[in-house]
Structure 1
Amino acid sequence: MLVEEIMNTDVVTLSPTASIREALHLLQKHRIRHIPIVDDDNYVVGIVSDRDVRDASPSILDKDSDQHVLDNEIQTIMSHPVVTVHPLDFVEEIARIFYDEEFASVPVVQNHKLVGIVTEKDMLYTLIQLTGTHVQGSQIEVKVPHVPGMIPKVTSIFGERNTNIISVLVYPYQNDPNYKILVFRIQTMNPNPIVQDLRAAGYELMWPNNIPEPKI
């Protein structure tokens, strides 16, 4: 999945000379957490978070605080340079940026100009889509040797039952490089027949692991 498929193109921005007061107003009005700061050519020159604005704002508990601080330019508190991504980057790859840098949002830039923004919420929603958990169904986890051809071998068993596979994920098995866990999301509320077929074919199931073997 590409960034351009999940990014929000309706981005709220400010110029570097806008006031902190303007940023505070936009953050509250649009219920957002970050505002990219762009120049006249729509180049990203900084980014401001709700925390930056909150830290720069006078305390509401201090009646003697200087309210004029809100008139300072936003460029005095913005973060720069800014880490950006491209619309054609893979979502799975930019997830690493969110994790490593502990970002809550990342501007999307094409030809040096701002074209969108991706947030933590966008990433979580995409994870739901990729794993298929938004579709009612069942999950089956199969431990297999880490060798070529295992996915088509296992999925052929689902095909024999005409079972629709919503998603397939591959996870490492603990710290053992010789095995992988295949996680299938299937569109059925009764996975028992598939479970029994997998066991009959000699596969070890990690989930479900509480369905008894059929009595002979």
Structure 2
Amino acid sequence: MLVEEIMKTNVLTLPPTATIADALKLLRENHIRHIPIVRESNQVIGIVSDRDVRDASPSIFDDGSNQYQLNNEIQSIMSQPVLTVHPLDFVEEVARIFYDETIACLPVVSNNTLTGIITEKEMLYTMILLTGTNVQSSQIEVKVPHKPGILPEVAAVFGQRKTNITSVLMYPFNDDPNYKILVFRIQTMNPVPLIQDLRDAGYELMWPNNIAEPKL
């Protein structure tokens, strides 16, 4: 999945000469948390968050003598340089940037021009879509040897029962490089027959592991 598929394109911005009061008003009226700061060419030169604006604003307990602070230009508190991504970047790679940099927002830039914005909220919802948890389904986790061709081999068991697979994920098995865990989300509310098929095929189930094998 690409960034351009999930980014917001209607981005509210401010010029660097706008005041902190302008930013505060924009944040409150539109219920947003970040404002890219751009030049006339729509080139991103900075970014401010609601926290930046809040920290630069007078306290609610202030007697009013410090209200002049709101007239300071927004460029005085903006973060720069700005970390950006491209519309054709992969969402999975961008998620790593969010994690590594501990940020909550990334402007999307193409040809040095702001084209969109992506926030941690879009990232979280995208992860929900990629894992298939937005669709009513059952989850099965299978421990498999880490070898070529293992995914279609296990998926064939689902195919034999004509079960639709909504998503597939893979993650390491503890610290053992010889094994992986395959996570299938399937469109069936009764996974018991498939669980038995997988066991009959010799696979070890990590989940569900509370369904006992039938007694002979």
Shared fold per TM-score greater than 0.5? yes
Query: Once the 2 structures are TM-superposed, how far is the Cα of residue 76 of structure 1 from its aligned partner?
Result: 0.4
Q: 1:21-59: CA deviations, max 9, x gaps?
A: 010001111111100000000000000000100000000
Q: Which amino acid letter does the alignment assign opposite residue 120 of structure 1?
A: E
Query: Once the 2 structures are TM-superposed, how far is the Cα of residue 65 of structure 1 from its aligned partner?
Result: 3.8
Q: Which amino acid letter does the alignment assign opposite residue 170 of structure 2?
A: V
In structure 1, C-alpha distance between the alignment counterparts of 2:62 and 2:82, rounded to whole Å: 33
What is aligned with 1:45?
45
Q: 1:133-185: CA deviations, max 9, x gaps?
A: 00001000000000000000000000001100000001011111110000000
What is aligned with 1:16?
16
What is aligned with 1:149?
149
Q: Which amino acid letter does the alignment assign opposite residue 12 of structure 2?
A: V
What is aligned with 1:127?
127
What is aligned with 2:210?
210
Could you state the TM-score of these two structures normalised by the residue count of structure 1? 0.99
Q: Which amino acid letter does the alignment assign opposite residue 152 of structure 2?
A: P
Instruction: Supply the RMSD in Å over aligned alpha carbons.
Output: 0.6
What is aligned with 1:88?
88
SS of 2:185's equivalent in the other structure is: strand
In structure 2, C-alpha distance between the alignment counterparts of 1:201 and 1:96, rounded to whole Å: 36
In structure 1, C-alpha distance between the alignment counterparts of 2:76 and 2:32, rounded to whole Å: 20
Runs of 4+ deviating beyond 3 Å: none
Could you state the TM-score of these two structures normalised by the residue count of structure 2? 0.99
Maintained 8 Å contact 1:52/1:78: yes
In structure 2, C-alpha distance between the alignment counterparts of 1:19 and 1:62, rounded to whole Å: 19
Percentage identity across paired residues of the two chains: 71
